[in-house]
A and B are shown apart, each in its own frame.
Chain A
């Protein structure tokens, strides 16, 4: 008889970083807010970077 079971896989960690260029900073409006423009960009970068395709560091 064949019975189907499961094998747990370890979680996968991916991390990446980037130094923001002066050109990029020049494009951002200077605003005084609790969460800065660069912090918002960092959050967006995680979704739009190429880490999903393996170019960021995976551990």
Chain B
């Protein structure tokens, strides 16, 4: 599982732009937080989440000027975004009961898509039956 490179590149460009300008408006910071959560937390197991604290504080501060702590975080995140690796998902049971896997998605909300459809697929694990021998 991985985040498409095109999506990562958009986020990386936002980070690079903010560092270059030395400013990041509150609205753009909120947008960047959402994109980073998607790229880091969901895609690679919460990697880099701690570095986002400065971004959350920047949203609340409502000052566009980037402080040192935020600049350091952005530099770290910029590097982190260049080193994301695909994540392996193991579906073997690691505890007494095997996991139920669920995939879901929707279409029709993006430009160029017409029909609004949502769908899901669920995989229930194979069970075990006690048998007498």
Which of A8, A32, A46 interacts with B122 by CB under 8 Å? A46
A4 and B129 contact, Cβ closer than 8 Å, known pairs A36-B109, A41-B118: no
Residues 33-52 of chain B: 1 if any A CB is under 8 Å from the residue's CB, otherwise 0?
01101100000000000000
A15 and B120 contact, Cβ closer than 8 Å, known pairs A8-B128, A42-B104: yes
- The answer to whether A45 and B124 have CB atoms under 8 Å apart is no
Complex-state Cα separation, A57 to B102, whole angstroms: 14
Q: Does B115 contact A (CB under 8 A)?
A: yes
Q: Does A10 contact B (CB under 8 A)?
A: yes
Q: Which of B31, B116, B122, B131 has the most CB of A within 10 A?
A: B122
Q: Which residue of B lies closest to A39 (CB)?
A: B106
Main secondary structure of the interface of A (DSSP, over half): mixed
- The answer to whether A38 and B106 have CB atoms under 8 Å apart is yes
Q: Which residues of A contact B106 (CB under 8 A)?
A: 20, 36, 38-39, 41-42
Complex-state Cα separation, A15 to B125, whole angstroms: 15
- The answer to whether A7 and B128 have CB atoms under 8 Å apart is yes
Complex-state Cα separation, A16 to B120, whole angstroms: 6
- The answer to whether B123 and A13 have CB atoms under 8 Å apart is yes
Complex-state Cα separation, A12 to B105, whole angstroms: 20
Q: Which residues of B contact A3 (CB under 8 A)?
A: 132-133
Q: Which residues of B contact A25 (CB under 8 A)?
A: 116
Which of A2, A10, A33, A46 interacts with B104 by CB under 8 Å? A46
A20-38 residues with Cβ-Cβ distance < 8 A to B are 20, 25, 32-38
**Contact surface of B with A, Cβ cutoff 8 Å:** 31, 34-35, 37-38, 102, 104-106, 108-109, 115-133
Q: Which 4 A-B pairs have the closest CB atoms?
A: A42-B118, A17-B119, A38-B106, A20-B116
